[in-house]
Amino acid sequence: MAAELSAAVLGSTGYSGAELVRLLARHPKLEKPLLLRRNSEGSETSGMALAGINGNGNGHLPTAAFAWEALPEHGIELLFLATPHGASRELVPEAMARGLRVIDLSGAWRLKQAEHRAVYGFKDADGNMAAKLDASAVYGLPELNAESIAGAALVANPGCYATSVILGLAPLVAADLIDREKGIISDSKSGVSGAGKEPTARTHFVSVADNFSAYSVFGHRHTGEILEQLRLDGRQLIFTPHLLPIPRGILSTIYVHLKREATAEEIRDCFGDFYAGKRWVRIYPAETLPEVQFSVHTNYCDLGFVLARDGRRLVIVSCLDNLLKGAAGQAVQNMNLMYGWDEAEALA
């Protein structure tokens, strides 16, 4: 198979970036991805870097210092940004101006409403350009927005928590089954890689192991994504993140009241119909719940539910790997859609 595309990655030293590079390196439609380094970045010290040590590994990937001019020389058409929010906010306008397509893994371009963007405190050099891009950026959740993604110049890859919550609720929202006035609660739990690679008191092994904690109660940045994609207002959702003593994986336990009495079969059908033909969502039979382990190291979002006997109260459990379906895997899925390839390429 001849490669059809050259892509570059800026920010390959973080957890999502490294996972992205691993996936891109084995993608049959792609040239070996070009790893771009900025001065501020430390050198790569992970096990991945050692992969090619004696020539028996996956082979060294091409690297280059980041410079806009260098990209055409390498034939780069698609740029992945696994950079901090602020950096992505700065870089994307220039990338667009230069005719590149971009998949941005940060929170920089996910939010349409200024009040939701406020939590990031972006300072845009050119407010007009930023506003235009905020409007044109496509929220890269393939199960909801496949068509827009296919034609997008700028794809804002969703947050990991947000992906798990939105996919767990979207079918019920679409079917208008939820009694929003009683409030939706997503009690979500994530592995530590979701907190990033920076060593902090909070990510120290001794702080995390044998522990479990809630954080950012009523104030997590992913809340805006969930509200916007599901068209909820802020009073209708409580989203509570927790830190699990595991390296990777998210489980969201989602509580909703239904507008009317339903049967488990109806709920099952609601999910089944909504996700029919969707390669990377798996619906569990009623009363059978997904666990973190079942989706980790895969690109699946797994969904299961239990309906109370009263037929009115529903608990949904949504699981995914925060580095795959919650980040790098979803980015590759988006690329596959953007270039008309099989949605599972490099992911199965």
Known catalytic residues are 160
Q: Which of residues 12, 145, 193, 330 is near its own copies by CB under 8 A?
A: 193
Reduce the DSSP state of residue 185 to 3 states and report it. strand
Hey, how many other C-beta atoms are within 10 angstroms of the C-beta on 309?
6
Residue 247 within binding range of its own copies, rule CB under 8 A: yes
State which of positions 43-72 bind its own copies (CB under 8 A): 45, 47, 50-51, 53-54, 56-58
* Closer Cβ to its own copies, 153 or 253, answer by number: 253
Shortest Å distance, C-beta 131 to its own copies: 28
- Size, binding site for its own copies by CB under 8 A: 82
77-136 positions binding its own copies, by CB under 8 A: none
- CB under 8 A: which stretch of 4-12, 74-82, 202-210, 330-338 binds its own copies? 202-210
Residue from 62, 84, 86, 245 that binds its own copies (CB under 8 A)?
245
Does the footprint of its own copies cover residue 3 (CB under 8 A)? Answer: no
How far apart are the two ends of the chain, measured CA to CA in Å? 17
Q: How far apart are CA 106 and CA 109, in angstroms?
A: 8
| Residue 98 to residue 159: CA distance in whole angstroms | 26
In contact, 20 and 326? CB cutoff 8 Å: no
Cα separation, 64 vs 12, in Å, equals 12
Query: Interacting stretch for its own copies, rule CB under 8 A, among 65-73, 147-155, 168-176, 209-217?
Result: 209-217
Q: Which of 192, 267, 327, 347 binds its own copies (CB under 8 A)?
A: 192
Q: Alpha-carbon distance 327 to 76, whole Å?
A: 21
Which is closer to its own copies, CB of 57 or CB of 72? 57
Stretch of 65-73, 83-91, 167-175, 235-243 lying at the interface with its own copies (CB under 8 A): 235-243
- Phi/psi of residue 132, nearest 5 degrees: -60, -40
208 binds its own copies (CB under 8 A): yes
Q: Which of 201, 231, 260, 340 binds its own copies (CB under 8 A)?
A: 201
Residue 184 φ then ψ, to 5°:
-105, 135
The span of 113-121, 133-141, 145-153, 278-286 binding its own copies (CB under 8 A) equals: 278-286
CA dist 194 and 197 (Å) reads 9
Contact between 199 and its own copies per CB under 8 A: yes
Q: Which of 159, 249, 326, 329 binds its own copies (CB under 8 A)?
A: 249
Q: Out of 116, 280, 336, 345, which residue is the one contacting its own copies (CB under 8 A)?
A: 280
Give which of 239, 254, 270, 234 is closest to 313, Cα–Cα. Answer: 254
DSSP β-ladder status, 237-243 and 184-190: parallel
- For the record, the structure tokens of 305 come out as 């539910």
Question: What is the pattern of x (binds its own copies, CB under 8 A) and - over residues 281-310?
Answer: xxxxx--xxxxxxxxxx--x-x---x-xxx
Neighbouring CB atoms inside 10 A of 49's CB total 16
> What backbone torsions phi and psi does residue 187 show, to the nearest 5 degrees?
-95, 105
Residue pair 157/140 in contact by the 8 Å Cβ criterion: yes
Nearer to its own copies, 138 or 281 (CB): 281
Of the candidate residues 115, 125, 272, 342, the single one contacting its own copies (CB under 8 A): 272
The verdict on 337 binding its own copies (CB under 8 A) reads: no
Cβ(186)–Cβ(254) under 8 Å?
yes
Q: Using the rule CB under 8 A, is 259 a contact of its own copies?
A: no
Among 126, 209, 265, 342, binds its own copies (CB under 8 A): 209
Q: Answer for the pair 9, 100: CB distance below 8 angstroms, yes or no.
A: no
